[in-house]
């Protein structure tokens, strides 16, 4: 089945991983369609760091530049839409979108990212990505050596305490309930001067996403300008799983070293496959997936 809506590759998700893959495939002369809803996970994050040539740039600006560069390749097109369903036929994958369009493609790449699930703490979502941050490698330099809060519990809390202590020695851990740290971990935190507070956090007080203080359930108010936290997530798209793609225990799509999922012809790249979330990592992941997809198409034609 070859129609005007048939592509060699359809990329679902047009942020850093998806656009990087599209550029790689466009430079190989492949007919590629990028379908994107324009709602990236980091839309609220004001600045991106730790990506050479773009350090401190606004994430949306990086994506806009990337899209303009990708669309210079004549075989690459872009559609602002949402894929609502996908199914596999003998030779093609068939996709339908929210606008009612249908497409067929030989290969599928999901660069759909993940959806962060905010805890039920007033003010948390407004600060997320601005002054409540997840990664010291991405944002730690800007808040280094400041009094810093850490909202986490269990193994995650202990690991984050170890890592974040590289950026500040004035760290307070809030477990937001009963402490889920073993005795050895608690002793190590104490030895490194990291207080552990189990009183639940009632509210994050802020101004336009800039943290001012934590208001605890017992009425105490603790003042900070920055806080680290890790939130749970869900896959931004459930279509890969509907097609049979496997996910691991953490909820990430399982891919091999060529970014192919457990279903032949379906690939995944970026945040939906790994806990390492950064622009540079997503770009690298997208490039690798583009190379792998092109190589697969070459082998199938020989």
Judgement on whether residues 24 and 106 belong to the same structural domain of the protein = yes
- Residue 4: its pLDDT value, please? 52
Of 181, 207, 229, the position where a domain reaches its end is 229
Of 171, 204, 229, the position where a domain reaches its end is 229
Question: How many residues are present in the chain?
Answer: 302
Judgement on whether residues 212 and 277 belong to the same structural domain of the protein = no
Instruction: Using the predicted structure, report yes or no on whether residue 3 has a pLDDT greater than 80.
Output: no
- Residue 185: its pLDDT value, please? 98
Instruction: Using the predicted structure, report yes or no on whether residue 2 has a pLDDT greater than 60.
Output: no
* Residue 1 resides in a domain: no
Judgement on whether residues 59 and 109 belong to the same structural domain of the protein = yes
Tens of pLDDT, residue by residue over 67-102, are 999 999 999 999 999 999 999 988 899 999 999 999
Judgement on whether residues 106 and 147 belong to the same structural domain of the protein = no
User: Which residue range is the domain that position 219 belongs to?
Assistant: 119-229
Calculate mean pLDDT across residues 42-51. 88
What pairing do the DSSP bridges indicate for beta strands 171-174 and 196-197?
parallel
Tens of pLDDT, residue by residue over 125-181, are 999 999 999 999 999 999 999 999 999 999 999 999 999 999 999 999 999 999 999
- Residue 42: its pLDDT value, please? 81
Judgement on whether residues 294 and 149 belong to the same structural domain of the protein = no
Judgement on whether residues 126 and 194 belong to the same structural domain of the protein = yes
Judgement on whether residues 44 and 133 belong to the same structural domain of the protein = no
Judgement on whether residues 140 and 107 belong to the same structural domain of the protein = no
Instruction: Using the predicted structure, report yes or no on whether residue 1 has a pLDDT greater than 80.
Output: no
Tens of pLDDT, residue by residue over 179-215, are 999 999 999 999 999 999 999 999 999 999 999 999 9
Judgement on whether residues 136 and 163 belong to the same structural domain of the protein = yes
* Residue 240 resides in a domain: yes
The angle at the Cα of 238, spanning 288 to 232, to the nearest 5 degrees, equals: 85
* Residue 20 resides in a domain: yes
Of 210, 229, 248, the position where a domain reaches its end is 229
Judgement on whether residues 109 and 182 belong to the same structural domain of the protein = no
- Residue 82: its pLDDT value, please? 96
Instruction: Using the predicted structure, report yes or no on whether residue 44 has a pLDDT greater than 90.
Output: no
* Residue 171 resides in a domain: yes
Judgement on whether residues 28 and 167 belong to the same structural domain of the protein = no
> What is this structure's pTM?
0.93
Give me the CATH number covering residue 179.
3.50.50.60
Counted domains in the chain: 2
- Give one DSSP letter per residue of 134-198, joined into a string: S-HHHHGGGGTTS-EEEE--HHHHHHHHHHHTTT-S-EEEE-SSS----HHHHHHHHHTT--EE-
Judgement on whether residues 123 and 225 belong to the same structural domain of the protein = yes
């Amino acid at each position: 089945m070859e129609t005007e809506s048939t592509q060699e590759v359809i990329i679902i998700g047009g942020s850093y991983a998806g656009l990087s893959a599209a550029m790689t495939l466009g430079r190989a002369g492949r007919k590629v369609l990028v379908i994107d809803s324009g709602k990236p996970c980091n839309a609220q994050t004001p600045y991106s760091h730790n990506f050479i040539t773009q350090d401190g740039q606004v994430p949306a600006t990086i994506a806009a530049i990337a899209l303009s560069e990708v669309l210079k390749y004549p075989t690459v097109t872009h559609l602002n839409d949402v894929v609502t369903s996908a199914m596999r036929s003998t030779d093609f994958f068939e996709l339908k979108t929210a606008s009612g369009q249908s497409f067929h493609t030989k290969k599928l790449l999901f660069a759909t990212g993940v959806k962060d699930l905010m805890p039920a703490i007033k003010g948390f979502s407004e600060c997320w990505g601005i002054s409540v941050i997840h990664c010291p490698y991405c944002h730690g330099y800007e808040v280094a050596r400041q009094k810093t809060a850490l909202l986490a519990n269990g193994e995650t809390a202990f690991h984050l305490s170890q890592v974040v202590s590289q950026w500040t020695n004035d760290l307070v851990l809030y477990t937001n309930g009963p402490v889920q740290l073993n005795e050895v971990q608690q002793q190590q935190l104490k030895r490194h001067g990291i207080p552990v507070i189990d009183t639940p956090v009632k509210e994050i007080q802020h101004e336009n996403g800039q943290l001012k203080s934590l208001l605890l359930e017992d009425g105490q108010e603790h003042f900070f300008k920055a806080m680290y936290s890790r939130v749970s997530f869900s896959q931004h798209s459930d279509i890969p799983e509907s097609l049979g793609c496997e996910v691991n225990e953490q909820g990430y799509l399982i891919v091999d070293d060529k970014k192919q999922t457990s279903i032949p012809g379906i690939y995944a790249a970026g945040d939906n496959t790994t806990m390492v979330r950064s622009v540079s990592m997503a770009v690298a992941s997208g490039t690798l997936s583009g190379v792998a997809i092109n190589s697969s198409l070459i082998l199938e034609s020989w």
